[in-house]
Amino acid sequence: METLIGKKAPKFTAKAVINGGEIIENYSLEQFIGKKHVVFFFYPLDFTFVCPTEIIAFQDKIQEFDKREVAVVGCSVDSEFSHWAWLNTELKDGGIKGVKFPLVSDLSKTISENFGVLAGEYDYDEDGKSIFVGAPVAYRGLFLIDKSGVVRHSVINDLPLGRSVDEALRMVDALKHFEEFGEVCPANWHEGELAMKATAEGVASYLGKLHK
């Protein structure tokens, strides 16, 4: 699969539910160009099992993303009406009521396909009829998109494997640190820790300080 890293994120305009219950017709990530970084993540389906744990985990940390000027946006192949119903169902009943960040509807599966996370593909049967082979849902893909609309980080998990919201925040911090200071972020780096210059001397200095 061709990576999107270092390339402009695929453009789309789609229906979405925002603010926990308002359906809009023409939602696009283009609104954030020049203004915010974006964490755009895919999940397989509404009213499932691992998916609500991830979505609620993002909502629980939404203030951390807000203070970093990062927009969090979710997307699945469900309709906007399914999103709306799920967002208005109590947690105790399997819903995600209280989630306020946007959920995009990718009913046509074209957004998932363009981002390379569709868990299957269209093909033809022996009679020449179009069929879908695989699971017609999105893998658990996550894309960190900078203010210029370029994808700087991505991770794609198989359907059973939930993601780490803390890791998404760590990658946001690493990107913002690089953008501000020009320093690269070594393994397991967290905000406030030692970073380094991308030179042989910088690596040597970092490792020397780390292991002295």
Written as six digits, the tokens of 43 are 């999940």
Mind listing the pLDDT tens digit for each residue in 87-146? Answer: 999 999 999 999 999 999 999 999 999 999 999 888 898 888 888 888 899 999 999 999
Distance CA 88, CA 91 (A): 9
202 falls within a domain: no
Query: Tell me, what CATH number does 132's domain have?
Result: 3.40.30.10
> pTM for this structure?
0.94
Active-site residue, 75 included:
no
Q: Within a domain: residue 5?
A: no
Q: Which is the catalytic residue, given 4, 29, 51, 144?
A: 51
Is position 194 within any domain?
no
Q: What number of other Cβ atoms are within 10 A of residue 95's Cβ?
A: 18
Q: How many domains does the chain have?
A: 1
**Residue 175 in domain:** no
Domain of residue 155: give its range.
14-161
In a domain, 211, yes or no: no
